[in-house]
Structure 1
Amino acid sequence: MSLWCLDEHRLGLKPIRRRVWAPTGQPFTCPVKPAYEWLYLYAFVNPETGESRFWLVPVLNKQAYSAVMTAFAHSVGAGADHHVLVVQDGAGFHVPATQGQSPGIQTVTLPPSAPELQPAERLWALTDATVANRAFDTLDDFSEVLAERCTWLETQPDLLTQHTLFHWWPLSTN
């Protein structure tokens, strides 16, 4: 059995602004070219091992949730021999498909209005790092940079554990 958590993040052409260091007396300028096109980042992380999976999808709804959960179950080998418990928030679209969750997947819903209990919330500072304080011409340009960042993060389990393994997170007994 493995314990994962899931969260979603809306990103797009509306710039993400962050504070940065600038030389004394010189203002920092940030390119801004606001547009309102979005995509959604689904992130799964196992806080104990730092293993992660990311999906960029164009919509946030029940069908997308079901498709991503199915892809996640397949990617981690969930099934009769490997049970996966996914901790998620109570978003209205977190509803399994009519045929139910994929075999081997079970979900636990956190209490409402409690993002501090969700380790996956801590991933957004890491995913946003390469797109913050930048302006993109198209959503394709934006998603390419974000996808590269997510691909890199999947190779950094120690970094993800540092950000998501809360002191109270249950550890496996293997």
Structure 2
Amino acid sequence: MLDVRTDIFNLVLADFAKHFQVGKNNRIILAMDQAGWHTSHELEVPEGIHIILMPSHSPELQPAERLWPVTNEAIANQSFDSLDELEEVLFQRCKVLSNEHDLIRGLTCYHWWPQTNSQVTVCI
């Protein structure tokens, strides 16, 4: 089971802030769900990053959450010798899913979202 830890997430936030040069004069609003490592009292949010927590049980605010089950199908009940191997399997699964427009639309579009004039409406 994947154990996501606040100390690791702190490193990710620090790297994110450094990469995008976030600070006093360059600010980012980061919308996140309410996972435990997102709400921990031990979370160290770099200057310039402002976290907005989305309401719990609101997949319409983060429609990509509904894609996890179809991406995870490729890795369920398997073990991998390396992260590169895992990444390759997920990459191949995402290539397949990128052509499954109706499936993705059905999982991520909501009837109240505005539609576009393009042939494929991308809702994530």
TM class, shorter-chain normalised?
A: 0.5 to 0.7
RMSD: 3.6
Residues 1:140 and 2:83 are matched in the alignment: yes
Residue in structure 1 matching 2:8, options 64, 78, 97 = 64
Residue in structure 2 matching 1:82, options 3, 26, 29 = 26
TM-score of the pair, normalised by structure 2: 0.55
Q: Is the 8 A contact 2:34 2:56 kept in 1?
A: yes
Corresponding pairs, count: 96
Q: Give me the whole-angstrom Cα distance separating, in 2, the residues matched to 1:79 and 1:106.
A: 11
Deviation at 1:109, TM superposition (A): 0.6
Correspondence for 2:17: 73
Q: Is the 8 A contact 2:13 2:46 kept in 1?
A: yes
Identity across matched positions, percent: 27
Correspondence for 2:122: 162
CA offset digits 1:74-121 (Å, max 9, x no partner) = 222211111100111111221467584111101001111112211442
TM-score of the pair, normalised by structure 1: 0.41
What amino acid is the match of 2:46? S
Q: Give me the whole-angstrom Cα distance separating, in 1, the residues matched to 2:48 and 2:41.
A: 15
Unaligned runs of 5+ in 2: 96-120
Correspondence for 2:115: none
Unaligned runs of 5+ in 1: 1-37, 40-58, 153-160, 165-174
Higher normalized strand content (fraction of residues): 1
Equivalent residues in 2 for 1:1-174 (5 A)? 59-95=3-39, 98=42, 100-121=44-65, 124=68, 128=71, 132=74, 137-145=80-88, 162-164=122-124
CA offset digits 1:28-75 (Å, max 9, x no partner) = xxxxxxxxxx55xxxxxxxxxxxxxxxxxxx40211221111112222
Inter-CA distance 83–120: structure 2 relative to 1 (3 Å threshold): farther
Range with greater deviation from structure 2 (93-102 or 133-142): 133-142
